[in-house]
Amino acid sequence: MRWLPLRQALCLLPLIAVAIWAGLHHEVLTSGAHEVLAADGSWLLAAIGTTLLGWVAVSFARQGTVHERLPAGRLFATQFAAGAANHLLPSGIGASAVNIRFMNRCGIPPARYSAALALYFLAEGVSRVALLGALLLAFPEALRLQALLPERIGLGLLATVGVAAALAAVLTVCAIRPLRRTVGGFLRTALTDIRSLHTRPRRVLALWGGSFAFPVLQAAGLVAVALSLDLPVPVAHIVLAYMAASVIAAMVPSPGGIGSVDAALVLALVATGAPATTATSTVLAYRVITVWLPLLPGALVLGALVKRRVV
């Protein structure tokens, strides 16, 4: 009984964090709410629908990272709650922590749920980059990034910086023996699980189907919001703008992508030819639907999952 107050406090923490965060971002929330109220309601309902389906896609992708059959209802509830946690901590730490606790409660050992987490991020990154590459090949002139970059900063320079950063990370791991051992052991476990999972067609379909479906559904939500506000940009170009923005924003660790995703989306839409004011309105309305509306319900679900020891 002495642990009951502590558990109750843990259940309330998500709500307290949401209240503080909403207070810090009240101007963005208010502006976005005004844009939502001024938009076409039928398209906004479509955006809400794609957001809900996005959690279904994530649930399939998470299931595809482990051999064990996870309880479907709890898995979906965990992804919904993880979305709220992800908006309170940077770089996906919140969602990862919730999923680690969930898989631990399901009896999956640490080495394997760590490998499952790495596989999920790998599949997510590969799917987004692959979709972006395919869209760039199909619409090479749609994204005019050079017009948004300073004269001395080109796409080649940005790519060089990215490759240099990746190379520096690899050299650091190779140079430090304890780190090399840890990373090597983790990679061996991860590669063993990846090979084993890819011998099971259902897991392959769940992992890669969910990983590709999630960004497509998110992009469809942005398209629906853009149509509700009459954004004068072709649908395919909006999808391309979303894919480019999501890849770029992933490099900036901010809670829920607040700031990084918003700025990247606005810049990407402007790069496709959208007016800056309409692009900003579209992004604000989109973020209200995908971030702010699910935040409080997600925090309530997270508290309930903690109370019931699901996570």
- The mean of the pLDDT values for the chain is 80
Taking the CA atoms of 79, 282, 33 and 38 in sequence, report the sign of the dihedral they define. Answer: negative
Of residues 92, 78, 148, the one with CA closest to residue 120: 92
Query: What are the tens digits of pLDDT across the range 128-151?
Result: 999 999 998 998 887 765 544 444
Mean local confidence (pLDDT), 166-181: 71
At a CB cut-off of 8 Å and minimum separation 6, what does 83 contact? 55, 95, 294, 298
HSE (side-chain half, CA atoms, 13 Å) at 48: 11
Q: Does 3 score more than 50 pLDDT? A: no
Q: What is the 3-state secondary structure (H, E, C) of 67-135?
A: CCCCCHHHHHHHHHHHHHHHCCCHHHHHHHHHHHHHHHHCCCCHHHHHHHHHHHHHHHHHHHHHHHHHH
Give the per-residue pLDDT at 98: 92
Measured distance CA(37)–CA(186) in Å, rounded:
49
What is the share, in percent, of the chain residues with pLDDT greater than 70? 72
Q: How many Cβ atoms sit within 10 Å of the Cβ of residue 172?
A: 11
Helix boundaries (H) for 198-292: 201-228, 235-249, 260-271, 276-287
Most confident of 28-42, 124-138, 206-220: 206-220
Is residue 188 helix, strand or coil? helix
Mean pLDDT within 267-271: 85
Average confidence (pLDDT) over 74-83: 93
Q: What is the pTM of this model?
A: 0.79
Structural domain spans, the chain: 27-307
Exposed, middle or buried: residue 149 (CB in 10 Å: 0-12, 13-18, 19+)? middle
